[in-house]
Amino acid sequence: MSMTRQAEPAVGTPPAPGPGQRDGRTAERPLVLRMLARPEVGVFLGAVAVLVFFLVAAPAVRQGSSMATVLYQSSTIGIMALPVALLMIGGEFDLSSGVAVVSSALTASMLSYQLTLNIWMGVIVALVVSLAIGAFNGWMVVRTGLPSFLVTLGTFLILQGVNLAVTKMVTGNVATDDISTMDGFDQAKAIFASSFDVGGVQVKITVVWWLVFAALATWVLLRTKYGNWIFAVGGNKDSARAVGVPVNLTKITLFMAVGFGAWFVGMHQLFSFNTVQSGEGVGQELIYIAAAVIGGCLLTGGYGSAIGPVFGAFMFGMVNQGIVYAGWNPDWFKAFLGVMLLGAVLINLWVQRTATRR
């Protein structure tokens, strides 16, 4: 006994300081700087700038109906940009998201038309197929450890080929047959592709869905366990796993969320145009990713917000329609977008550097 007393380790317990004590090393940063450090503030300012620019340059934008069109355009990008942004925060990409939209619409359309089922059967099967595509992407990524860029590039090419080949095989055409006379069409259209009246202006229902999904995504991201895990798996996968976060589950469900978004947008396209062109959707995935990046999400994961991509998608819709309303040659659209993307990324970078500097 005395042996151990004698050989007692040299270091004792530190004194516990009372509450209320501060270490005094961090000065309170000004509110403006703290605001700027939020991921969505840069893109918010950018969206306001683009809006003001077109309000001045294109008088036609000032009408309510034009604004409704801009919002509609934004919503179709924005609904997909949300899950794509969450996935990006979780540290992965999905290049197949653009064609997955078309795959979903094709599935619903052809299944119900060829088997003369109620349209809802097609819609539900399409949801299952979309979620399965997402789950496959996620499973491949976590299982193989390959970069999601490669895995989803593969899925992208597969889906692109399957979309065309199967549609031609089934319908003998590159587009599906018109489904507008089938059972359940009107109900489904009411949910996915109707309009409603706000003070004499027709607003598409996708705008409402867009904002509902954005609110939901924000809540999940900032206020739930799952949201915490999204940041963690994107920020440092190994650390997250070591403290008990189910990394694989989180990533797979994020890919499935993209699948859900693809299904929703696919259904919207199907019920607003009645037919689906099987070759569409290529290139859209980059638009979604760009909207997420403009929205302040870090390409490498671990940082971002759900509200940022809302403004990112709005910038896209605004520029897209603004060019038309301003009477300019729409050929310039993509060039304008490219400049906007680079500008937004640089502004984000600058804002973050300035605001997080201590």
Partner 1 sequence: MTSDTTGTHGAVLQDTTPDENGPIVELRGAGKSYGNIRALHGVDLTVFPSRVTCVLGDNGAGKSTLIKIISGLHQHTEGDFLVDGQPVRFGTPREALDKGIATVYQDLATVPLMPVWRNFFLGSEMTKGPWPVRRLDIARMKQTADRELRNMGIVLDDLEQPIGTLSGGQRQCVAIARAVYFGARVLILDEPTAALGVKQSGVVLKYIAAARDRGLGVIFITHNPHHAYMVGDHFSVLRLGTLELSAERSAITLEELTNHMAGGAELAALKHELAQVRGVDVEELPEADELTAPVAQPSPEGTS
Q: How far is the CB of 72 from partner 1 (least distance, A)?
A: 30
> Whole-number minimum distance, CB 10 to partner 1, in Å?
5
Closer by beta carbon to partner 1, 245 or else 276: 245
CA 343, 348, 354, 355 torsion-angle sign: positive
Pick the closer one to partner 1 by CB: 79 or 245.
245
CA separation for the pair 192, 205 (Å, rounded)? 7
Which residue, 227 or 281, is less far from partner 1 as judged by CB? Answer: 227
In the complex, least distance from residue 119 CB atom to partner 1, rounded to whole angstroms:
28
The verdict on 353 binding partner 1 (CB under 8 A) reads no
User: Which stretch, 4-12, 116-124, 128-136, 265-273, contacts partner 1 (CB under 8 A)?
Assistant: 4-12
Verify binding: residue 169, partner 1, rule CB under 8 A: no
Minimum separation from the CB atom of position 38 to partner 1 (A): 11
At its nearest, how many Å lie between partner 1 and the CB of residue 292?
Answer: 17
Task: Confirm or reject binding of residue 16 to partner 1 (CB under 8 A).
Answer: yes
**Is 9 a residue that touches partner 1 (CB under 8 A)?**
yes
Please tell me the number of Cα atoms within 13 Å of 27 on its side-chain side.
Answer: 6
Q: Which helix (H) or strand (E) holds 126?
A: helix 119-144
Two tokens, residue 93:
């990409």
CB 177 to partner 1: min, Å: 39
Alpha carbons 315 and 67: distance in angstroms, whole number = 12
The whole-angstrom separation of Cα 53 and Cα 81 is 24
Q: Under 8 Å CB-to-CB from 192, ≥6 apart: which residues?
A: 205, 206, 264, 267, 268, 270, 271, 272
Closest CB to partner 1 among residues 9, 172: 9
| 195 DSSP β-pair partners | 204
Considering only residues 283-342, where is the footprint of partner 1 by CB under 8 A? 298, 302-303
Which among 132, 119, 125 has a CA at the least distance from the CA of 107?
Answer: 125
Q: Do the beta carbons of residue 74 and residue 338 sit within 8 Å? A: no
The span from the CA of 156 to the CA of 257, in Å, is 17
358 binds partner 1 (CB under 8 A): yes
Residues 19-78 touching partner 1, rule: CB under 8 A, are 19, 21-26
Q: How far apart are CA 141 and CA 235, in angstroms?
A: 17
For partner 1 (CB under 8 A), the number of binding residues is: 44
Which of 48, 115, 157, 242 is the binder for partner 1 (CB under 8 A)?
A: 242
Alpha carbon distance 276, 164 (integer Å): 11
Binding mask 139-168 for partner 1 (x = CB under 8 A): ------------------------------
- Quick one: tokens of 61? 């934008």
Q: How far apart are CA 326 and CA 31, in angstroms?
A: 37
Binding segment (CB under 8 A) for partner 1, from list 12-20, 80-88, 113-121, 271-279: 12-20
Cβ pair 230, 85 in contact under 8 A: no
Candidate segments 17-25, 166-174, 257-265, 308-316, binder of partner 1 by CB under 8 A: 17-25
Kindly give, in sequence order, each residue whose CB lies less than 8 Å from that of residue 117, ignoring residues fewer than 6 positions away. Answer: 111
Quick one: 10 or 31, whose CB is closer to partner 1?
A: 10
Would you tell me which residues interact with partner 1 (CB under 8 A)? 3-4, 6-7, 9-19, 21-26, 219, 223-225, 227-228, 231-232, 235-236, 238-245, 298, 302-303, 356, 358
